[in-house]
Chain A
Amino acid sequence: MKRKAQGGEMIGMLVIIILIIVIIGVYIRFASMPNEGTVSTSVTDLQNDKMFNAMLEATVCEANNLEEVIKKCSKSQDICNQDSCVLMKESLDEMLDSLLGKRLNPELKQTYFFVEIGNKKVYEIGYDKIENDCLNMPNGKYQPKSYEIRPNVAVLTIARCVI
């Protein structure tokens, strides 16, 4: 009789343990659901495309846009009676400050922007070690995006680390 009662208690205990395991399983299943999905990636891509387009189209001096200024800089020519490379740097500083603001602060390690003319960096701002640091982060997604000004004049790159 006593053994039978003990058997019943054992079954009760087993049911409780199974229920606890099921609850923990459900908790882990929902707690570990990823928050960052493809939505943020596609939005970042869209933002980068629109940013390059808006920057290069923006009127910098007289009727010349930034693309024209960069082309002149690649040929070491003046534009609007100014050094085109100096004008390019000043314009990029102002534009990027308005567009990205604090995100360019190297201490935040979030964004790096640079311009290459003939494989030589002529302008850079942000955190230059972003690639290595981002790849070493457990949830870090390194997202570089480049835009080439044809014909092989210059390449503008923005690299972001999305966590």
Chain B
Amino acid sequence: MKKKGMIGMMETFMIIFVIFILIGFGMYFFYKFSVSSTITEAQETCELSSYEKLLATLDLPGLQCSFKASPKDCVDTAKLRAFIDTKAAENVGTQACTMKIVFKQIYPQPGIRVNDTECTPDKMRSPEFPESCGKWTLKVPKEELTKNKAARVSSTPVSLYYPHIKQYGIGQLEITTYTYT
């Protein structure tokens, strides 16, 4: 009888043990998927908010082309350079998402050597412009904010206006968002 009782107890403990293991597995999977879905949501929110912020930035009178006081859907490169130099660009984007924002020139194509050259005021005044440089960096995050984070690049074409030569080109607005993997 005593032995039977012991076996019964053992069975009960075994069942409780198995139940706890199963609950543990359930909690593990729940945690794993809820964390991954939260990260995905955060990434999408970052991506969407970066686009929203960017669209708002493109609509800024400080960057947008304007002719006879009416705005046009393009970016004035002279205004863009001035905007970068005044450090106002540091406030573009969100505090929650670490972002890098770059305008790249793609048509007319800059030379391969100058593809990655920043369009400084000197370069923009040179007779070879717009072929003399390839990008305008609006915002670069601090290195410690990008460490151990995955970079995700989103881009959209933009119309670029070169007021010095009164011509239009095509640019690519690249937003790199840094998120935890």
Known: A16-B18, A47-B156. Contact between A30 and B168, CB under 8 A?
no
| Closest A residue by C-beta to B65 | A57
* Those of B148-176 within 8 Å (CB) of chain A: 154-160, 166-172
Could you say which of A30, A31, A46, A98 contacts B109, with CB atoms under 8 Å apart?
A98
Q: Report the interface size class on chain B.
A: 35 or more
On chain B, the residues within 8 Å of A50 by CB distance are 156-159
Could you say which of B18, B29, B47, B107 contacts A26, with CB atoms under 8 Å apart?
B29
Could you say which of A26, A63, A99 contacts B26, with CB atoms under 8 Å apart?
A26
Q: Return the CB mask of A93-106 against B: 1 if under 8 Å, else 0.
A: 01100110000000
How near does chain A come to B175, taking the closest CB pair, in angstroms? 11
| Closest B residue by C-beta to A95 | B107
Q: Return the CB mask of B42-79 against A: 1 if under 8 Å, else 0.
A: 00100110010001000000000000000001100000
Asked whether any CB of chain B lies closer than 8 Å to the CB of A137, the reply is: no
Quick check: A5 and B26 within 8 Å, CB to CB? no
On chain B, the residues within 8 Å of A16 by CB distance are 15, 18-19, 22
How near does chain A come to B125, taking the closest CB pair, in angstroms? 19
Q: Return the CB mask of A49-62 against B: 1 if under 8 Å, else 0.
A: 01101110111000
Q: Return the CB mask of B15-48 against A: 1 if under 8 Å, else 0.
A: 1001100110110011001101100100010011
Known: A26-B26, A27-B29, A39-B44. Contact between A54 and B167, CB under 8 A?
no
Taking A39-B44, A47-B155, A53-B73 as known contacts, 6 extra A-B pairs with beta carbons closer than 8 A to each other, sorted by chain A number, are A8-B11, A12-B11, A12-B15, A30-B36, A43-B156, A55-B170
On chain A, the residues within 8 Å of B25 by CB distance are 23
| Closest B residue by C-beta to A35 | B40
Could you say which of B11, B30, B47, B169 contacts A9, with CB atoms under 8 Å apart?
B11
* Chain B residues near A (Cβ < 8 Å): 8, 11, 15, 18-19, 22-23, 25-26, 29-30, 33-34, 36-37, 40, 44, 47-48, 51, 55, 73-74, 106-107, 109, 154-160, 166-172
Known: A16-B18, A94-B107, A95-B107. Contact between A23 and B157, CB under 8 A?
no
Quick check: A58 and B159 within 8 Å, CB to CB? yes
14 contacts between A and B (CB under 8 A): A23-B25, A23-B26, A26-B33, A35-B40, A39-B44, A50-B156, A51-B156, A51-B157, A54-B158, A54-B159, A54-B160, A58-B159, A59-B167, A94-B107
How many A-B contacts are there with CB distance less than 8 Å? 95
Known: A47-B156, A50-B157, A54-B170. Contact between A15 and B19, CB under 8 A?
yes
Residues of A within 8 A of B (CB-CB), count: 35
Quick check: A57 and B159 within 8 Å, CB to CB? yes
Q: Return the CB mask of A39-80 against B: 1 if under 8 Å, else 0.
A: 100010011001101110111000101000000000000000
Asked whether any CB of chain B lies closer than 8 Å to the CB of A19, the reply is: yes
On chain A, the residues within 8 Å of B30 by CB distance are 26, 30
